[in-house]
Structure 1
Amino acid sequence: MNPESTASRLTPQAILIITLIGGSFAADSFLRFPIPGTNEPHYLCKAKHYWNPQWCAGDFFLESSNAHAVFYQVVGLLPQRLSLRDTALLGRLAGFLLLAIGWFRLFQVLTPGRWSPLIAAWIYLGIAAIGNFSGEWIIGGIESKVFAYGFLFLSLANASEQRWNRSAIYAGLTISWHPVVGVWALLCSAFSLLCLWLLQRKSPTRVTLRDAISKAVPAAGLLILCALPGLIPAVNLLLHSDSRDNFAANYIQVFYRIKHHLDPMDFHTFGYLMYAGLLGLWFFLRRKQNTTFANRFFQCFILGTIGLACVGFLLGAGPRPASEMPFYAFRMSLLKFYPFRLFDALLPLAVTMALVNSVSQRFFETRQTDAASPSASHSSRKAVVAVLSLSIFTAVLYSAWVFPPIHKMSPAQRQDWIDACQWIKQNTPETTLFLTPARESDFKWYAQRPEYVTVKDCPQDAPGVVEWNRRLKYLRNWGQKYYNEGFDDRALEALKENTNITHLLVKRLGPFKTIKSVYQNQTYKIYELP
C-alpha cells in the first residue's frame, strides 16, 4: 500500500466534494429537522448548564450526571456567548463538516471514482428519509453522536488502509464523543480483524503473531489515551449505583422510556420489512465486490453490526409483560446498551456503498467491451447515475419542503407555546421552578427556567432514572388524589410542599379554584402558587 494514498490527499477537487457533501447533509437537516431538533434542547441546554450551573439552577435533569461529558465540555462553550439557536446552527455546520470529511475518506478508500462519495451521500439521504429500524439516525439535529460517527468513518477509512495508529486515534475519539457508538464500533472492528486473520491463516503472506502484537500495542495505547475523556464519565455512571437502582432503571429505560430504541418487540413492522429488504440487497450485491483487504474489512465490520442486532433481538424477543421472559433481568441489563444502533445507522450506508461499487464495476465491464465509442458510452452512463442520484436528493428536499415536520401541536398552538415561554422568560425571576406539560420538550430552550420533571429529559444514571420515574408518578398520583372538580388550596399546598414548584404552565390541568392565572393565551395558562 502506498503510504500517501490519493484518498488522503486534500486537493481542491476533494475540498469541493467535501463541501458539497456537508452542504447536502446540512440542507437535509435544516429542512427535515428545523431548529430546535428533537434532541437539541436536551443536549444543548445541558451543555450550557455544564459551564454555567446558575443557568436554570434547580432543574432536575440539568443537575443530573453528565454521560456525554466531552460534548458538553466542547459545545457548551458556545452558548455562553451565543444564543441556543446560534449554537445549534454552528454545531450542526461543524458536525456535518466533520461527518462529510469522514464520509469522503471512507468512500474514497472503498469505492472507485472521484465523485462517488457525493453520489453515495445523495442515495443514502434518500434511504434515510424512508425510515429506520430502531429510531437511529445520523443526519438530524446536533448531538454527540454526529461527531462520533464522523470520527468513526475516519477510523474505518484508516483501518481499511491499514494505518492502525491513525485508526486507533479516531476510534478513541469516537468513544470519547459517544461511548456506546464507539465501544460497539471497536468490538465490530475487532470481529472484522479476527475474521480476516482466520481467512489468511493459510496465506503465505499472513501476518505473524509477533508482527500483529508489535502493531497492536502502540495502537491500543493511542486508542485508550483518546478514549479516556469520554469513557471515564460513562464508566462512573455504571459503577456509582446499587443493584436495586440498576434493576429499576434498566426496566424503566428498556421497557418504558426508550423502548422504541431498545425493545425489538416494540419496533414497527415496516422497519423490519425495510431492513430485511436492505439486508437481502446488500448480501446480493456484495458477492461481486472485489476481495481487497479494505473491502473485506468493511464487509466484516458490517457483519459484526448485523451480529449485534441479532443478539439484541434474541435478548428482547419474548412475551410481554417483559417480566414473563426467562432471565429478563439479565437480558434487559444488556439491551440498555443499544445493540441495534450501528446496524440501524450503517446498513443503509453499506447498501449505498455496494450499489456504487456494483454500478462502477458494470461501467468498467461495459467500457471494456464497447468497441464503437467506449469513452462516450462510459461518460453518458456516469451522467445518468449522477442525474438519478441528484434526483433522489432533490426529491428528499422537495418532500421536506412540501410536507414539513409534523409537530404534536398545530401552528397556532406552537405559537402560543412560544409566546407563553417568552412571557415567562421576561416576567418571572430565575429562581422559579415550573411544572410544565409532561410531553413538551423545549421549555428550557425558550423560557430559560428550570423544570421539576419532564418526560423527554430523563437522566442517564440509575439513581437519576429512578428519581425521574418517582417524580412523574408523584404528579400523576397527586392529580388523582386531590382532584375534585378542580384543585383547591389543600392540593396546591401539598404540591408546593413536596416539590418546591413555584409556578404552573398548564394546558389542560385544572381548574384551580383559589388562584387566578397571571398570563394566558388561547392554549396555555400560567399560575403562580401562593
Structure 2
Amino acid sequence: MTSESTATKTSPPAILLILLIAGSFAVDSFLRFPIPGTNEPHYLCKAKHYWNPQWCEGDFFLESSNAHRFFYQVIGFFTQWLTLTQTVVIARLTGCLLLAIGWFRLLRVLTPGTWSPLIAAALYLGIAAFGNFSGEWIVGGIESKVFAYGFLFLALANACEQHWNRAGVYLGLTICWHPIVGVWGLLCALFALLCYAVVQRKSLNRTSLGLTTSQAIPAIGWLILCSLPGLIPALSLLQGGTPREEFSANFIQVFYRLKHHLDPMDFDTFSYLLYGLLLVVWFILRRKESSDFQFRFFQYFIAGTLGLACVGLLLGAGPRPATDMPYYAFRMSLLKFYPFRLFDSLLPLAVTVTVINGIYQRCFAPTENAAGSQQGSSRLAVVTVSLLSLALFGGVFYSAWAKPPVHKMTAQQRSDWLDACHWIEENTPESALFLTPIHQSDFKWYAQRPEYVTYKDCPQDAPGIVEWNRRLKYLRKWGQNYYNEGFDDEGLQVLKRETGITHLLVKRLGPFKTIEPVYQNPTYKIYQLP
C-alpha cells in the first residue's frame, strides 16, 4: 500500500466518506426495517432480561440459555436507563458506524478511487433490497451479527494487507460477537491462505506469502483470547442435552423453525436465480482483476464461502419429507450451523468489488490527455454515483412494496394490537403470564409482560428447543380438544393448571362460555382466567 493511500485513510475526506457510508446504511436500516425490526424484540428483550431478571420474570424464552451472551452483556447494559426503542436507535447507529468503518477499510484495499467505498455501498444496498439466498442480511435491524460483520470486514482488510496480528484480533472479536459468522470467517480465511500458498508454489513466481511463524503465533493467540467471551457460551449449547434431545432439536431447527435459513429445498426459485446471476457476473469479472495478494486472497475467501454453500446444498438436497433422505440425522446435524450464511451476505459484496474495479479500469484509468481525462472522469463519477443512488432507492422502494412489514397487519389491526398491549402494561400485574397469538413477535416489547410460548422466540439449546416445541404442540392440542365444547370452565382450569397462564390475549380464539373479556377493541380481546 502506498503512503498516499495510507495518508488518505486518516485525512478528513476519509472521515467524511465513513460518515456518508454509515448514513447510507442507517437510512436503509430505518427506512426498510421500522423499529422494532424482525429480530429486535427477540434480541433486545433478552438483553434487558439479562440485566434485570425481574423484568418479564417467568417468560419461557427469556429464561432460556443465552447463546449471544456478549451481545446481551454489552447492549443490555443500556436498557437499564433507556427504553428499548432508544436502545435500538443507539445500537443501530453504532452498528452502522462500525460496518461503515470496516467497509471503508476493506473497499479502500480492494478498489481504487476516492469515492469507490461509497459507490460500492450504494450498489450493495441496491442488490440487497431485491432479495437474498437464505434470509441473511447485514444492514437491517440490530443484532449481534451486525457488529460481527463490521469486525469481519476489518479482519479481511488487515489480512489483505498481511497485518496478521490485527487480523487475528478482529477475527476474535467477530467470533465473540457471533460465533457462527466468526468461525466460518476464520475457516474461509485459512482456506484463502492455503489456496494462495498452493498457487504460488506451483507458479514460476514463488513470492513469499508474508506469514511467518513469528507472526502466526501472536495472531492465533489474539484470535483465541478475543473470541473466548462469545465462543464459550456458544460451545456450551452444543453439550446441553441428551442424544435424543439433540436429535429432536436438530430436526425442529433445520426442517421446521429455521428451514428458511437452513434447508436449501425450502429456498424459493427467485433466490436461486438471483444468486446464480450474481455468481456468473462475479466469475466473469474477477478474471480481469489484478493478481496481487489482496485481490487473490479476497477471491479465495469468497470461493471458500461458495464451497460452504455447496456443501450445504449437498447436505440438504433430497426428497421430502426429510426423513426419506439417506443419513438425514447426520446431514441435519451439520445443516444447523448455517453453511449458507457467509455466501448469502458476501457474494453481493464480491460482485460489487468486481463491478467497481471494472468501471474504474474502463472509465477512470489515466490517459495521455490528463486534464481532459480528469474532467471526464469527474463528470462520469457524478453520473455513476447518481445512477447507483437511484438504483439503491429504487431497490428500497421495491422491497418495501413487495415485502410489507413483518407483522402483516392492516393499519387498524396494528393500532388495535398496540392499544391492547398498552392496556396490558397499565392494568395487569407484572406477575401475569400471557397466552398470546402464536405468530406475533413484539408482545413483550410493548406490553412488558411474560409469555408462555411464542413461535418467534425459540431457544437455541437442545432442551429449550424441545420444550418450546412441546408447548406449541400442547396449545394446539388443547385448542382442538375444547374447541367443540366452547372452552368451558374445565378447559380453562386445565390450561391454567398445566401451564400457569393467567391471562389470554386473543384475536380469534374462543368463544369462552363462562368468562367475559376484561378489555377488548375491534380486533383483540383480553381475558383473565378465573
TM-score category (smaller protein): over 0.9
Aligned to 1:94: 94
For 1:473-492, what aligned pairs fall within 5 Å after superposition? 473-492=473-492
Deviation, structure 1 residue 6 = 1.1
Q: Secondary structure at the match of 1:82?
A: coil
Partners of 1:237 and 1:34 lie apart in 2 by 31
Deviations 1:272-320 (A, max 9, x none): 0000000000000101001110000000000000000000000000000
Asked if residue 223 in structure 1 is aligned to residue 223 in structure 2, the reply is yes
For 1:416-435, what aligned pairs fall within 5 Å after superposition? 416-435=416-435
Q: 1:178 to 1:7 in 2, by over 3 A?
A: farther
Q: Secondary structure at the match of 1:378?
A: helix
Note if contact 1:59-1:433 (Cα within 8 Å) is conserved in structure 2. yes
For 1:28-427, what aligned pairs fall within 5 Å after superposition? 28-202=28-202, 205-207=206-208, 212-365=212-365, 367-368=366-367, 373-399=372-398, 405-406=404-405, 407-427=407-427
Q: Secondary structure at the match of 2:515?
A: coil
Note if contact 1:7-1:108 (Cα within 8 Å) is conserved in structure 2. no
Deviation, structure 1 residue 329 = 0.2
Q: Secondary structure at the match of 2:238?
A: helix
Partners of 2:31 and 2:140 lie apart in 1 by 10
Deviation, structure 1 residue 468 = 0.1
Partners of 1:8 and 1:76 lie apart in 2 by 36
Note if contact 1:485-1:511 (Cα within 8 Å) is conserved in structure 2. no
Note if contact 1:32-1:405 (Cα within 8 Å) is conserved in structure 2. no
Partners of 1:381 and 1:287 lie apart in 2 by 24
Deviation, structure 1 residue 388 = 1.4
Q: 1:204 to 1:343 in 2, by over 3 A?
A: closer
- Higher mean C-alpha deviation, range 142-151 or range 405-414: 405-414
Consecutive unaligned residues in structure 1, runs of 5 or more: none
Q: 1:208 to 1:304 in 2, by over 3 A?
A: closer
Partners of 1:234 and 1:372 lie apart in 2 by 57
Deviation, structure 1 residue 255 = 0.2
Aligned to 2:441: 441
For 1:512-527, what aligned pairs fall within 5 Å after superposition? 512-527=512-527
Deviations 1:145-204 (A, max 9, x none): 000000000000000000000010000000000000000000000000000111122556
Residue type matched to 1:479 in 2? G
Note if contact 2:109-2:294 (Cα within 8 Å) is conserved in structure 1. yes
Aligned to 2:14: 14
Deviation, structure 1 residue 390 = 2.0
Note if contact 1:247-1:329 (Cα within 8 Å) is conserved in structure 2. yes
Partners of 2:487 and 2:32 lie apart in 1 by 41
Q: 1:113 to 1:82 in 2, by over 3 A?
A: same
Note if contact 1:139-1:146 (Cα within 8 Å) is conserved in structure 2. yes
Q: 1:456 to 1:470 in 2, by over 3 A?
A: same
Q: 1:403 to 1:254 in 2, by over 3 A?
A: closer
Partners of 1:386 and 1:326 lie apart in 2 by 51
Q: 1:398 to 1:254 in 2, by over 3 A?
A: closer
Q: Secondary structure at the match of 1:527?
A: strand
Q: Secondary structure at the match of 2:527?
A: strand
Q: Secondary structure at the match of 1:182?
A: helix
Note if contact 2:421-2:447 (Cα within 8 Å) is conserved in structure 1. yes
Deviations 1:180-229 (A, max 9, x none): 000000000000000011112255654489x6322211100000000000
Q: Secondary structure at the match of 2:54?
A: coil
Residue type matched to 1:471 in 2? R
Residue type matched to 1:374 in 2? S
Deviation, structure 1 residue 398 = 4.8
Q: CA RMSD of the aligned region, Å?
A: 1.8
Consecutive unaligned residues in structure 2, runs of 5 or more: none
Note if contact 1:144-1:177 (Cα within 8 Å) is conserved in structure 2. yes
Count of matched residue pairs: 528
Deviations 1:297-355 (A, max 9, x none): 00000000000000000000000000010000000000000000000000001101110
If the length of structure 1 is used for normalisation, what is the TM-score? Answer: 0.97
Deviation, structure 1 residue 486 = 1.4
Deviation, structure 1 residue 511 = 0.5
Deviation, structure 1 residue 483 = 2.1
Deviations 1:476-520 (A, max 9, x none): 111111222410000001101100000000000011001110000
Note if contact 1:22-1:96 (Cα within 8 Å) is conserved in structure 2. yes
Q: 1:397 to 1:483 in 2, by over 3 A?
A: closer
Deviations 1:45-68 (A, max 9, x none): 000000000000000000000000
Residue type matched to 2:18 in 1? I
Q: 1:278 to 1:369 in 2, by over 3 A?
A: farther
Note if contact 2:452-2:499 (Cα within 8 Å) is conserved in structure 1. yes
Residue type matched to 1:244 in 2? R
Q: Secondary structure at the match of 2:408?
A: coil
Deviation, structure 1 residue 467 = 0.2
Note if contact 2:111-2:357 (Cα within 8 Å) is conserved in structure 1. yes
Q: Secondary structure at the match of 1:504?
A: strand
Q: 1:119 to 1:259 in 2, by over 3 A?
A: same
Deviations 1:420-458 (A, max 9, x none): 000000000000100000000000000000000000000
Q: Percent identity?
A: 67
Partners of 1:304 and 1:199 lie apart in 2 by 15
Deviation, structure 1 residue 9 = 3.0
Deviation, structure 1 residue 524 = 0.4
Residue type matched to 2:501 in 1? I
Residue type matched to 1:230 in 2? G
Residue type matched to 2:105 in 1? R
Partners of 2:402 and 2:331 lie apart in 1 by 40
Q: Secondary structure at the match of 2:10?
A: coil
Deviations 1:28-61 (A, max 9, x none): 1111100000000000000000000000000000
Asked if residue 505 in structure 1 is aligned to residue 505 in structure 2, the reply is yes
Residue type matched to 2:486 in 1? G
Deviations 1:386-425 (A, max 9, x none): 2211222332455567778344111100010000000000
Residue type matched to 1:475 in 2? L
Partners of 1:44 and 1:374 lie apart in 2 by 52
Note if contact 1:165-1:218 (Cα within 8 Å) is conserved in structure 2. yes
Partners of 2:263 and 2:402 lie apart in 1 by 30
Note if contact 2:99-2:147 (Cα within 8 Å) is conserved in structure 1. yes
Aligned to 1:25: 25
Partners of 1:342 and 1:159 lie apart in 2 by 17
